[in-house]
Structure 1
């Protein structure tokens, strides 16, 4: 009995210490995310909106907007359509897309906007979407990887990955790779086709080890939806930088940039904790940026003549800004790019 007690007690202590450590880390991730969000909101309120000169007509161009039926994505779709682009709204639900298309056409009677089904929680759906788009023989000048989830409870996709990682990062990386050749062949003379990845200022607080992206996450205190969300946004940025380098080395006529759209009044906050949801609702209405303003920041990066040759940059409020120290590490950029390709079942080239 004494021997059993000697064995069990250390195990119990070790397990208890680990639980306490996980809870502390969980709380720290929550605090860090809301602190960086508060700082970004204050900066957003203090700075003036960047002036955007008249953007050029996109009448001969085709754009894909993931999550283009609601929130920021809806306004990206609407603004591109108003500039004359043919816009493909890529989202899960046809009814939601049909409603968005009807609203866009109320203001832009000649808008050319269509729906194609895409579920970013499924690699099969991504491949099916790409195949369907390519079968249309349409060109592709703009790919806006906008859709995402935020602070969602733990869950794995049908492909076995944590949901934030796949929906926000992996599936967009797959979509980009599947459509890259089409974009290269569509690039205008003397210009480039453009990929715009929607990241976030919260990448600054991500605690990130690329290995964790390959491991199944336990559904306990060791899993933090706050860090999962922040880490997915950091992964987007790291991948953007690495992909930009490769495109440049290959002489590709495709550019890729990342955008922090702002602290925006959208429906993504429905997963915030009940204890602050009321406060968040008030702040959203009083101080957060409108989805229309946020959409303009993304459309600027996608269409501005001033950015024709710009690639591998991070934008906020229509201006180039610095990203986190971690995001600037070339070794980490390459590691994330390689691991992303491995996770997608592709060679890292």
Structure 2
């Protein structure tokens, strides 16, 4: 049974006062000197204005509603310091994983029976996506391999079928660099009337030269973030009907090097409009931060509907096709190969987020080596930045006739 804490609070939008406000285990409610309520995730060591279940922003009215925890000084926090407020603790100590950087996706899945579960894995014709789809399918899940090339997707699917002829796999075309293609995928999937219990947003590109998609957006941003953002919105109702469902976003530790923040976030910052403002590495890192911010905000919006979202770092410089676009990336990947994970190990954290029993009903976390972690980035725990990236992403879709 979850813990409960109570407070007499009312919504800033003028809603009726709430007499009782239930919080998930690991969350605490605190109050600023001006009466604004904020919520502390004692496991992730983060704070936010929104209630973790309802998403409401509240304020205490009157002097009879005291809401304090800790040593009594926490309630003096003001709005300017909220984003940097943390609580004492050792991280997500109640998420106990027996897996590590040496684990493989198949080891994570060992003993799991996913019969009756439906999963979508983007970019699954090769690399980490392939190993993730393979592990899911070999353990009974009905897997949709969402690939840019159907032919290459079928070749990969046939390799899995050769291992076990009873696997259930369907290859569907998805070109994330085309909003039209993303919409077509969403519509085609809905026609199947299948549920979605696991949605793994794995596809991505890195170190590509500057180019614009057919939608007029910088290609790395659209493929790595906006295409997946749009896909998830298109499939939101299916996810909610499939509850409990999980959305797993593959990010990168490189997000910690991004310079994206509230003081510079804009549509042009997210999607560089010309080559002069484009950097291969910084653009990739920016999109990986967007992946994390999207997962955090998505979890906030959908957790109360039984849809949780988590985000992960698969491992650095894993030898996949992601390095194929630039000679320097190829050199770096070759040089670091003896010290990095195999592709099978790189897929382990995706598999863990998709099936781990201890994550049932839990979201908003960042994982590294199958362990809950805290990214070393202030931007990564900025709820205001997450909301702004979401708002700008919606605007980009709306401006191009793809509102959801």
TM over 0.5: yes
* 1:57 and 2:113 matched: yes
Q: Which residue of 1 aligns with 2:371?
A: 319
Shift in alpha-carbon separation, 1:111–1:52, aligned structure 2, 3 A: closer
Report the secondary structure of 1:256's partner residue. Answer: strand
Aligned twin of 2:291 = 236
How many angstroms does 1:84 deviate by?
Answer: 0.3
Alignment deviations for residues 257-293 of structure 1 (CA, whole Å, 9 cap, x no partner): 101111212121123444x744531422x12211111
Find the aligned partners of 1:214 and 1:326 in 2 and give their Cα distance.
14
8 Å CA contact 1:81, 1:87 repeated in 2: yes
Cα distance change of structure 1 residues 283 and 93 upon mapping to structure 2, 3 Å threshold = same
| Structure 2 counterparts to residues 264-343 of structure 1, below 5 A | 264-274=318-328, 277-278=330-331, 280-284=333-337, 286-323=338-375, 324-343=377-396
1:106-141 deviations in Å (ceiling 9; x for gaps): 112211111110100011100100100100111111
Separation in 2, partners of 1:111, 1:177: 28
Structure 1 unaligned runs (5+)? Answer: 1-46
TM-score norm. by structure 1 comes to 0.80
Q: For residues 77 and 214 of structure 1, do their structure 2 counterparts lie closer, same or farther at Cα, with a shift above 3 Å needed?
A: closer
Aligned counterparts, 1:202-217, within 5 A: 202-208=254-260, 209-211=264-266, 212-213=268-269, 216-217=272-273
Q: Which residue of 1 aligns with 2:138?
A: 82
User: TM-score scaled to structure 2, two decimals?
Assistant: 0.69
Residue deviations 1:79-115 (CA, integer Å, cap 9, x gap): 0001100000001112101110111011122111111
Aligned length: 294
Aligned counterparts of 1:240 and 1:94: Cα–Cα separation in 2: 27
- Separation of aligned partners in 2, 1:229 and 1:269: 12
1:101 alignment partner, SS class: helix
8 Å Cα contact 1:234/1:327 also seen in 2: yes
Compared with structure 1, are the counterparts of its residues 57 and 151 closer, same or farther at alpha carbon in structure 2 (3 Å cutoff)?
A: same
| 2:129 counterpart residue number | 73
- Separation in structure 2 between the aligned mates of residue 279 and residue 151 of structure 1, nearest angstrom: 12
Cα contact 2:397–2:403 (8 A) shared by 1: no
CA separation in 2, counterparts of 1:182 and 1:115? 19
Match of 1:227 in 2: 282
CA distance in 1 between partners of 2:164 and 2:176 (Å): 28
Tell me the SS of whatever aligns to 2:300.
helix
CA distance in 2 between counterparts of 1:282 and 1:232 reads 25
**Higher-helix-fraction structure:** 1
For structure 2, the residue ranges without an aligned partner over 5 or more in a row are 1-99
